[in-house]
Amino acid sequence: MKLWLLRPVDGLQNNDNPWEPWFYKVFGFVVRAENEEDARNFAHEEAGAENRGEFLGEKIANTTSPWLNAKYSTCIELLPDGDAGIVLREARDA
């Protein structure tokens, strides 16, 4: 089994950004899965409002599955080598 880190892609345009505005959304996952496809599917199933593609009836993105699409999210395998430290801390304060 492998560990995967999933995050939104940096630099998405505001008119096609599932994470804008940031309310009720998930901004990162660390997933244990055999492969990237399975990791993306786990993230998709546990997503927040970023999967809606709209906010208050207004279209905010051209997708309702950003965790499945490399245009919107990254999915990289975490390897055991590297510096000690935190892998993911995702905080959004209001």
Q: Which domain holds residue 21?
A: 2-78
How many folded domains does the chain comprise? Answer: 1
* pLDDT tens string 53-90: 988 888 999 999 999 999 999 999 999 888 888 888 88
The amino acid that residue 58 corresponds to is E
* pLDDT tens string 8-47: 999 999 899 999 999 899 999 999 999 999 999 999 999 9
Residue 84 domain-assigned (yes or no): no
Count of CA atoms in the C-beta half-sphere (13 A) of 89: 3
Nearest to 3 by CA among 77, 73, 70: 77
Residue 50 domain-assigned (yes or no): yes
- The Cα 43–Cα 4 span in angstroms is 10
Residue 92 domain-assigned (yes or no): no
